[in-house]
């Protein structure tokens, strides 16, 4: 795998943002159809741009007795965590970095997102925002253990924590084929780590927006962009972990990576519309009593196959 | 529509601004970031007013100086033992009267520890119920000697149920279905063709019924032995059953005798204040919102289980 800093600084943020904008536009078009709005598809596809412009000119607001430092640093850390996690994301044969502990790095940056959302929720001194922060911590407790076992299973199958190595290990057989449980759990946790889809309680409508309830203008733009970046990165990581990386017939590797990422992203967009928000009060039971044992079993089977 | 003042550009007050809402609306306006605009509309002028507002906004908005910081109704936290006997911070947070997908005018004063509601108290409702006039509209012609048809009655009841369901789904974060319910409600109000409505409505009902996630998430929520029937999921199910039953009446031109409108006497909005505190205490915030949304705000709790309600 080729590494490059120029890649990291220039191409990666742009590529991720472009991908997120495309997904946003697609989602806006679907929304118009659902809402039976009398608008053209082109107008709907331009919605994300209009929203960006609106937030850029909007006034930044503050609240009474807010903890400004915590609040703003939490907001900025959301996109930062997404970009840092994306450093180990390979596009075809290239990656910004391919360290020997790539998987651990990805996992650590995603946990940085917990801290980010928690402080962003705590900062404005507003009850609804604070509850949003609480919710994400509870969510982390639920999804993280099965998620880690899913990551470990892929690493065990390849015998390395290096993302490039995991892609190489799938030359003959994609991991999704013999680690289906790991893959499914990864998809669930991908939504959960980006507080996305059915796991969007931290930004819930019942909380009038939760963590983003008090955010306006550019602050709001930064956090919401960070969330879209997190979704794209989480979807993108499924490709090297379980879907054979850039492998595929005819098309070049980078294109295959994009196609596969788009498919995973489409699934995440679909599941957000398909399911109501899952409350952790109910999901904990499923997560700890069903998903966790299943992922451990999956890891055990993979370990035995690798040993024998 | 914005979920919070922070995300809003435009504050629209539709209809009369009663005493109860003056202060909350002012508070919301002060929290809206600039550029912003404030509009008051009465019936039949919605389109014009909104066009004016969008012009104002495009010119940089109305720079009205609200002056100073917003007291956001947040009392300093104190301490108290929680359900596990731990001393935790207590926040006193009023919910309502203006909250998205919340019965307009309802105010519940809550004491929160974390996201658990330890104590809830409901404000007495205004003497004139909010929304009361609107929901009485199939009976408007009653005084004028015009005929009331059972099709018209079915239509308004469907609108009412779709409104309630839309609120419930929105609070549950099931936006796709909430939007679909809202679209159907609006088309019904505009007088859409009943065959089209029926087809869409039945599709919606089927989708909700088939969602195992939905029933799993709402089961055993908001149960009360005496005052209300079932839990959130059975109340939702009752609404679906009722819609399915009355949607066939949409075309009916059969006239409804005036004395048959006893059950339609909604002039006295019976507040949910008697049951709500008991139902809400000890629940988590998300569950509490679902419980509130599963009760029809302007029907009495005793009515919830009556023929309009549960259908076995």
CB contact under 8 A, A64 and B74: yes
CB contact under 8 A, B35 and A200: no
In this structure, the answer to whether residues B174 and B219 fall within a common structural domain is: yes
pLDDT, residue B295, reads 85
In this structure, the answer to whether residues B136 and B192 fall within a common structural domain is: yes
Which tokens hold the place of A21?
A: 């904008």
B152 versus B226: the higher-pLDDT residue is: B152
In this structure, the answer to whether residues B264 and B227 fall within a common structural domain is: yes
User: What average pLDDT does range B190-214 have in this prediction?
Assistant: 93
**Residue B111: helix, strand or coil by DSSP?**
strand
Task: Report which of A271, A90, A103, A307 is spatially closest to residue A187, judged by C-alpha positions.
Answer: A271
Residues across chain B: 312
Instruction: Say yes or no: A126 contacts chain B, CB-CB below 8 A.
Output: yes
Find the range with the poorest average confidence among B25-39, B204-218, B244-258: B244-258
User: Chain B closest CA to A170's CA: distance in Å?
Assistant: 34
The residues in B 93-122 lying below 8 A from A, measured between CB atoms, are 93, 99-101, 112, 114-115
User: Chain B closest CA to A153's CA: distance in Å?
Assistant: 28
Q: Which of B3, B172, B216 sits opposite A208 (nearest CB)?
A: B3
pLDDT, residue B205, reads 97
pLDDT, residue B270, reads 42
Q: Domain range spanning residue B93?
A: 78-122
User: What average pLDDT does range B115-131 have in this prediction?
Assistant: 74
Instruction: Say yes or no: B35 contacts chain A, CB-CB below 8 A.
Output: yes
pLDDT, residue A37, reads 77
Q: Which of A131, A198, A220 sits opposite B6 (nearest CB)?
A: A220
Per the structure, the count of domains in chain B is: 3
Which tokens hold the place of B303?
A: 């009515």
Instruction: Say yes or no: B3 contacts chain A, CB-CB below 8 A.
Output: yes
- Say yes or no to pLDDT of B178 above 80: yes
Test mutation, A35, A125, A127, A278, chain B, max B CBs within 10 A = A127
- A46 Cβ contact list (under 8 Å, min separation 6): A25
- Say yes or no to pLDDT of B48 above 90: no
In this structure, the answer to whether residues B162 and B284 fall within a common structural domain is: yes
The verdict on residue B63 lying in a domain is: no
CA distance B196 to B181: 14
In this structure, the answer to whether residues B148 and B296 fall within a common structural domain is: yes
Q: Which of B70, B213, B285 sits opposite A275 (nearest CB)?
A: B213
Task: Report which of A138, A104, A106, A144 is spatially closest to residue A292, judged by C-alpha positions.
Answer: A144
Instruction: Judge if the upstream peptide bond of residue B179 is cis by omega within 30 degrees of 0.
Output: no
Q: E-assigned strands of chain A?
A: 2-3, 94-95
pLDDT, residue B228, reads 66
User: What average pLDDT does range A190-216 have in this prediction?
Assistant: 94
Residue B22 has, within 13 A of its CA and on its CB side, a CA count of 2
Q: Which of B115, B211, B217 sits opposite A282 (nearest CB)?
A: B217
pLDDT in tens, B84-105: 777 778 888 988 888 899 887 7
**Residue B83: helix, strand or coil by DSSP?**
coil
The helix/strand count (H/E) of chain B reads as 11, 6
CB contact under 8 A, A64 and B71: yes
In this structure, the answer to whether residues B192 and B266 fall within a common structural domain is: yes
In this structure, the answer to whether residues B298 and B167 fall within a common structural domain is: yes
User: Which residue of chain A is at minimal alpha-carbon distance from B110?
Assistant: A127
- Separation in Å, CA A81 to CA A108, A235, B219: 9, 15, 37
Chain B residues closer than 8 Å to A61 by CB: 6, 31, 33
Instruction: Judge if the upstream peptide bond of residue A185 is cis by omega within 30 degrees of 0.
Output: no
pLDDT in tens, A241-254: 999 998 999 999 99
User: Chain B closest CA to A262's CA: distance in Å?
Assistant: 21
The residues in A 274-303 lying below 8 A from B, measured between CB atoms, are 274-279, 281-282
Most trustworthy range by pLDDT among A162-166, B51-55, B228-232:
A162-166
pLDDT in tens, A73-99: 999 999 999 999 999 999 888 888 899
pLDDT, residue B43, reads 62
CA distance A308 to A6: 42
Which tokens hold the place of B72?
A: 């956001």
Instruction: Say yes or no: A213 contacts chain B, CB-CB below 8 A.
Output: yes
DSSP B284: B
A137 versus B263: the higher-pLDDT residue is: A137
Q: Which of A209, A275, A282 sits opposite B7 (nearest CB)?
A: A209
CA distance A110 to A82: 7
pLDDT, residue B45, reads 64
In this structure, the answer to whether residues B103 and B142 fall within a common structural domain is: no
In this structure, the answer to whether residues B156 and B295 fall within a common structural domain is: yes
Q: Which of B72, B182, B216 sits opposite A63 (nearest CB)?
A: B72
The verdict on residue B68 lying in a domain is: no
Q: How confident is residue A176, by pLDDT bands cut at 50, 70 and 90?
A: very high
The verdict on residue B71 lying in a domain is: no
User: What average pLDDT does range B165-192 have in this prediction?
Assistant: 93
pLDDT, residue B311, reads 34
- Say yes or no to pLDDT of B75 above 90: no
pLDDT, residue B309, reads 34
- B262 Cβ contact list (under 8 Å, min separation 6): none
User: What average pLDDT does range B270-285 have in this prediction?
Assistant: 79
Q: E-assigned strands of chain B?
A: 10-14, 37-41, 78-81, 87-95, 108-113, 116-122
Q: How confident is residue B265, by pLDDT bands cut at 50, 70 and 90?
A: very low
Task: Report which of A191, A183, A212 is spatially closest to residue A278, judged by C-alpha positions.
Answer: A191
In this structure, the answer to whether residues B145 and B271 fall within a common structural domain is: yes
The verdict on residue B65 lying in a domain is: no
Task: Report which of A89, A24, A19 is spatially closest to residue A51, judged by C-alpha positions.
Answer: A24
Q: Where are chain A's structural domains?
A: 2-307
Residues across chain A: 308
- Say yes or no to pLDDT of B244 above 50: yes
């Amino acid at each position: 795998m080729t590494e490059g800093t120029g890649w990291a600084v220039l191409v990666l943020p742009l590529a991720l943002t472009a991908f997120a904008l495309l997904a946003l536009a697609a989602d806006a078009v679907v929304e118009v159809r659902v809402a039976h709005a009398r608008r053209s598809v082109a107008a709907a596809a331009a919605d994300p741009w209009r929203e960006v412009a609106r937030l850029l000119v909007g006034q930044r607001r503050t609240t009474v007795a807010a903890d400004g430092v915590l609040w703003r640093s939490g907001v900025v850390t959301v996109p930062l965590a997404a970009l840092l996690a994306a450093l180990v994301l390979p596009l075809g044969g290239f990656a910004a970095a391919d360290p020997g502990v790539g998987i651990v790095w990805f996992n650590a940056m995603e946990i940085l997102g917990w801290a980010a959302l928690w402080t962003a929720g705590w900062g404005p001194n507003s009850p609804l925002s604070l509850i949003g922060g609480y919710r994400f911590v509870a969510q982390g407790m639920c999804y993280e253990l099965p998620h880690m076992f899913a990551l470990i299973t892929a690493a065990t199958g390849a015998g390395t924590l290096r993302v490039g190595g995991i892609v190489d290990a799938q030359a003959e057989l994609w991991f999704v084929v013999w680690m289906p449980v790991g893959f499914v759990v990864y998809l669930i946790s991908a939504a959960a780590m980006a507080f996305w889809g059915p796991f969007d309680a931290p930004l819930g409508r019942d909380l009038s927006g939760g963590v983003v309830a008090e955010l306006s203008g550019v602050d709001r733009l930064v956090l919401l962009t960070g969330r879209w970046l997190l979704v794209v990165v989480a979807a993108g990581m499924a490709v090297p972990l379980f879907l054979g990386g850039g492998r595929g017939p005819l098309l070049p590797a980078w294109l295959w990576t994009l196609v596969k990422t788009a498919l995973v992203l489409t699934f995440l967009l679909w599941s957000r519309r398909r399911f109501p928000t899952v409350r952790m009060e109910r999901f904990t039971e499923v997560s700890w009593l069903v998903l966790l044992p299943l992922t451990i079993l999956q890891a055990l089977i993979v370990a035995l196959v690798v040993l024998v | 529509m914005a979920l919070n003042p922070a995300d809003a550009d435009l504050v629209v007050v539709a209809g009369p601004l009663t005493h109860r809402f003056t202060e909350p609306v002012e508070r919301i306006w002060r929290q809206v970031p600039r550029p912003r605009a404030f509009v008051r509309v009465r019936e039949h002028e919605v389109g014009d007013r909104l066009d004016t507002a969008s012009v104002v906004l495009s010119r940089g908005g109305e720079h009205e100086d609200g002056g100073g910081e917003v007291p956001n109704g947040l009392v300093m936290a104190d301490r108290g033992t929680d359900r596990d006997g731990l001393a935790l911070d207590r926040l006193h947070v009023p919910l309502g009267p203006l909250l998205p997908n919340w019965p307009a005018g309802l105010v519940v004063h809550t004491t929160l520890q974390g996201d658990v509601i330890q104590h809830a108290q409901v404000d007495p409702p205004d003497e004139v119920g909010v929304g009361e006039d609107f929901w009485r509209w199939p009976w408007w012609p009653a005084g004028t000697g015009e005929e009331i048809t059972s099709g018209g009655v079915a239509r308004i009841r469907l609108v009412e149920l779709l409104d309630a369901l839309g609120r419930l789904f929105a609070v549950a974060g099931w936006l796709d279905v909430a939007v679909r319910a809202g679209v159907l409600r609006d088309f019904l109000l505009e007088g859409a063709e009943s065959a089209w409505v029926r087809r869409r409505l039945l599709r919606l009902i089927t989708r909700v019924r088939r969602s195992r996630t939905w029933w799993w998430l709402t089961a055993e929520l908001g149960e009360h032995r005496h005052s209300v029937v079932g839990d959130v999921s059975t109340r939702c199910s009752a609404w679906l059953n009722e819609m399915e039953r009355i949607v066939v009446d949409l075309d009916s031109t059969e006239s409804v005798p005036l004395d048959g409108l006893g059950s339609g006497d909604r002039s006295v909005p019976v507040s949910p204040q008697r049951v709500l505190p008991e139902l809400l205490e000890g629940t988590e915030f998300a569950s509490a919102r679902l419980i509130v949304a599963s009760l029809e705000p302007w029907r009495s709790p005793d009515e919830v289980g009556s023929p309009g309600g549960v259908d076995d």
